[in-house]
Amino acid sequence: MSKYLKFKTPATEQAGDLKSRYGLKNHGLVHLDRVYWNLPEPALYEEASFRQEGFMAHGGPFVVNTGKWSARAAQDKYVVKEPSTEDKIWWGEYNRPYAPENFSSLVARVQAFLQDEELFVQDCYVGADAEYRMPIRVITEFAWHSLFARNMFILPETQEEYQNHVPEFTVIAAPSFKVDPRIDGTRSETAIILSFADRLALICNSSYGGEIKKSMFTVMNFLLPLQDVLSMHCSANVGDGGDVALFFGLSGTGKTTLSADPRRRLIGDDEHGWSDEGVFNFEGGCYAKVIRLSADNEPEIYDTTRRFATLPETLVQDPPSRRLDLDDAPSTENTRAAYPLEFIPNVVPEGAVKSHPKNVILLTCDAQGVLPPIARLDPEHAVYHFISGYTSKIAGTEIGLGIEPEIAFSACFGAPFMVHHPFQYANMLRAKMEKHGANCWLVNTGWVGGGWNVGKRISIRHTRNLLNAALEGKLDGVEYRKDRLFGCEVPLSCPDVPEDVLDPSTSWGNRDEYFKKYDALAARFIDNFKLYASGCPEEVAAAGPKRLRK
């Protein structure tokens, strides 16, 4: 809204009803026009509609368009390098150092820019476990960003709790503010900068909602391992017997879809901690890809796109009926929807369980079409594959990706959000798996019968049957073969899955061509692991693949 127009908006009268005593002056935000504190969903709908930030679609979701920011600006993320972070962060491609003096100057300019503006505040928590729960504050220019934060994080329950809320970390999302590379030392006019000394994250010149979510995930990935809690980019569910399953994987691997199993209770779909007491969700919501969702294959997630409070990004509608077309992606494949976790049936309402994982699933989308659909990993192979984080990047998940999937290695299946050396997370994972007797499985949800332009995507029905067999212990007594290159164990049979599906070489027209492609992938693994070898014991590198003898 223009800072020079003075008139009432739909929620003007309720703007301060849930105001915290810890005001915005504590963040250096002064001379503001009006601040909307902790507005609930209906009021945010009204404000966002009034400001023409989006529209209500059939069934009740509020649809927004993020413009050119249709994905994370991964190359524009920085961490302030100061005494508390200098020797703890693994500096490099994803953790670019940023000078403290530049950050102080930038914060002052953002504070000045926001004077006389209307702002929205959501006071929330990250972490469902009370022992590790952190109060946070999300300050935004847009009403829909406030709804996004309300959907994604854990909310206070009483007016008194809102009034007494004091954040331990704050996010300021200012998509209208462009940084200046000449004076700010950034790569472009967009910047996502975290300062652990100031307990502040700045998001400038990006309106993509995922930046808010992932900034707080990065914060937890730094802080929790220092408390001996493993922070994880994974979904999690639990069976009736308390058997927790973790699903690691990047966007496009099926992490959200596969964990939403009606026969198991969902703990969360993306970010979790594993403490000595059990597993807990960081969030209070889900942020799922919804492009080409199927009511048959993903009924729980599909249903959320027809509900009030769901916040889909960049979806196409039929103007007269306001019905969404989930199959149409004119500008991006990364069409997502943020919705409360409670929208998924059979969810764990507390967001935490006092039991430990019995199965750890490493999901990969192999666009080369050579990996087996499932393989069992011993501890050393588990650490190697966890650090490698192999998958194929699918179009739309990051700015700059084309149509063809790209081979990618993302450490811990979430490299952009990991701030310590990958072995620190991997070693914690191995220790917890060994302590609690968890099995580890590598599950390929990619292609069979050839690469992405020749073969076909593995049937989700087969993937579900393989997962169910692993989770239910039906693969414990079957015969296995040792993979020729990677050394992992591949089952020769599985209930309700054809045997030829378990051996991808049989679905290729030319077996020699298959092993040539497989050997090339092994070479990529070996080359990639050189980036981490200096920080890992020799036995971890030794668990890597072996090349075919020429």
So which residues are the catalytic ones?
72, 214, 233, 251, 255-256, 270, 336
Residue owning tokens 């503001």: 32
Residue owning tokens 């220790």: 431
**DSSP-derived secondary structure for 428-481:** HHHHHHHHHT-EEEEEE-SEESSSTTTSEEPPHHHHHHHHHHHHTTTTSSS-EE
What's the CA gap between 289 and 339, in Å, rounded?
Answer: 11
* Dmax (CA) of the chain: 77
Nearest Cα residue to 244 out of 348, 129, 342, 153: 348
What's the CA gap between 325 and 44, in Å, rounded?
Answer: 24
Q: In degrees to the nearest 10, what's the CA dihedral of 306, 309, 311, 315?
A: 30
CA atoms within 13 A on the CB side of 354: 2
Using CA atoms, how far residue 535 sits from 39, 315, 382, 416, 424, in Å, is 47, 43, 16, 18, 9
Nearest Cα residue to 410 out of 522, 269, 518, 531: 531
Other CB atoms within a 10 A radius of the CB of residue 94 amount to 19
